[in-house]
Amino acid sequence: MLHHVVVGSGPTVTFFLHGFLGSGRNLSALVRRYTDARPDRRAVQVDLPGHGRSPSLPPRADLKTAARQLIELADQLGAERFDIVGHSLGGRVGLALVDEAADRVNHVDLLDITPGSTHHLPVGHVINPLLAAPEDTPDRQAMHRFFLESGLTAAFTDWLLMNLERDGDRFRWRIDRRRLAEFHQRHGNADLWTVVETHPTKIRALRGSDSKYLSDEDVARLERLGIEVLTVANAGHFLHAENLDGTFEALMKPRD
């Protein structure tokens, strides 16, 4: 079973899905705001397959693999229908889930991600340093220095090192880095515009004002389909961390 945390006790389930190399706890602050404002909701913070404390990805896993595992989790939780709030990779998994089981998904809120190919986006720059990093280090600072010397920013490095865990007197990766790199290649190739075009009434998009993950061309294409796009001011790709208030207000806006 995918590792998950349930917040709230309302009858309606909303799955909160994190981005690539993240975990469910990345969305904790947004989830708390959401469930405080919506007592009718039960929020499920999921560690996606291969991420956080969920089981490793199977060989040749793709977005459909992740979507099917989420359907299994929904079954285990007794959630016949549900909503999805998905950041980055989580939004793409949400679209794949619509493709797999449209009758079970009420709505998807995409947090700063394109439905098209993602290979041009900045997150891809982490793959080579991640694969080149040591298997373990005596302290987190040593791994931190490695990524800074590889050209990653301090903020991005701190986020990446959330995937380290202590093992005796060493720090080791709790993720299968090679399998995740392979997964990133496959999911980045996926073009999900057909899903969006087939189910536009289920979808809404939020984007950070300073982010490149949802281009102006993407926005125009979404809006031609009648899909609402909300821009969160003073925020980049990690909009829920950089402007929590603005992201929460956009998420709570009544759907058109």
- pLDDT, residue 123, reads 78
Which tokens hold the place of 141? 């600072």
pLDDT of residue 120: 84
How many Å apart are CA 255 and CA 253, to the nearest integer?
Answer: 6
4-120+180-252 classified as CATH 3.40.50.1820: yes
Q: What are the two backbone dihedrals, phi and then psi, of residue 14, each rounded to the nearest 5 degrees?
A: -125, 120
Q: Residue 8 region, left (φ>0) first, then alpha (ψ -120 to 50), else beta?
A: left
Domains in the chain: boundaries: 4-120+180-252, 122-178
Q: What is the pLDDT of residue 45?
A: 98
Q: Hey, how many other C-beta atoms are within 10 angstroms of the C-beta on 82? A: 22
- Positions in the chain short of pLDDT 50: none
Please give the full DSSP string across the chain, using - where no structure is assigned.
---EEEE---SEEEEEE--TT--GGGGHHHHHHHHHH-TTEEEEEE--TTSTTSPPPPTT--HHHHHHHHHHHHHHTT-SSEEEEEETHHHHHHHHHHHH-GGGEEEEEEES--SS--TTSGGGGGHHHHHHS-SEESSHHHHHHHHHHTT--HHHHHHHGGGEEEETTEEEESS-HHHHHHHHHHHHH---HHHHHH-GGGEEEEEETT-SSS-HHHHHHHHHTT--EEEETT--S-HHHH-HHHHHHHHHSPP-
- Tokens 């389930």 identify what position? 13
Tell me which residue of 176, 175, 174, 246 sits closest to 208, measured CA to CA: 246
Measured CA to CA in angstroms, residue 151 lies from 33, 129, 135 at distances of 35, 9, 19
Those residues with Cβ within 8 angstroms of residue 224's Cβ, 6 or more apart along the chain or in another chain: none
Of 10, 255, 215, 211, nearest to 109 by C-alpha is 255
pLDDT at 248: 98
The per-residue pLDDT for 252 is 97
